[in-house]
Amino acid sequence: MRKSWWKILGVLLVASSIVMGLLGPVPVLPILHETIRNVFFHVPMWFAMVTLYLISVIYSIKYLTSGKIEHDLIAVEAVNTGILFCFMGLMTGMLWANITWGEPWPNDPKLNGSAIATLMYLAYLVLRNALDEEQKRAKISAIYNIFAFPVMIVLLYILPKLTDSLHPGNGGNGTFGDLDMDGGLRPIFYTAIIGWILVGLWIATLRYRLRLVENKRNQLD
């Protein structure tokens, strides 16, 4: 129970943010209207994704310095889980864009950058599957992963701020914090961020344990 408190907390936070996000009161805003509720889902999922990618980079660095295969396994499972949240973020974002901007994928720098970043991390998994030798696979993919993370940050958070973008907080647009986040929305928003991150860490932990068992089984065979 002592080791599981954060998992229970994550589930409770996500559940409460879903209920309040769908049923709670929201401000009446032009264009956005009720779609502002998606800020409790789309944005926290991206926060969870970036957190998992960051953890993956940390353990890739640890692998290069220690050579422990467990660090490589944590890195790859953090990426696998991060990609799951990436796709959930893309789906909720496309739904939101279709309602507010009239099409699911307008020619927007942040959307295009997210597509490139997604392909970049899928290429990481393809690279791993293309290499058979364990140590070689772990070392090359770790180096790739370390370089992929800052590129992803540039694509998602730096370039959109330097160009015209439909996304809030980019291209001269105000942020949700400036325009839309009243006192009632912020607690739900922060609850959702913490909850989705904890759930993401839980999923990554489960995947790592399964990968560890599979890896040991392969060594016995």
Q: What CATH number should be reported for the domain holding residue 159? A: 1.20.120
Contact partners, residue 167, CB within 8 Å, separation at least 6: 108, 110, 160, 173
Question: Residue 144: which pLDDT band, with cuts at 50, 70 and 90?
Answer: very high
Is 73's pLDDT higher than 90? yes
Q: How many CB atoms lie within 10 A of CB 126?
A: 10
Domain interval for residue 169: 5-220
**pLDDT higher than threshold 60 for residue 172:** no
For tokens 């089984």, the residue is 217
pLDDT digit string, tens, across residues 181-208:
566 778 888 999 999 999 999 999 999 9
Q: What is the pTM of this model?
A: 0.90
> Residue 2 pLDDT more than 70?
no
* C-alpha distance across the termini of the chain, in Å: 35
Question: What is the tally of structural domains in the chain?
Answer: 1
**Which residue in the block uniquely carries the two structure tokens 């990609």?**
83
Structure tokens at 200: 């993401």
Question: Model confidence over 13-44: pLDDT tens digits?
Answer: 999 999 988 887 777 666 666 777 888 898 99
Q: What is the mean pLDDT of the chain?
A: 86
Smallest Cα–Cα separation from 47: which of 187, 221, 213, 199?
A: 199
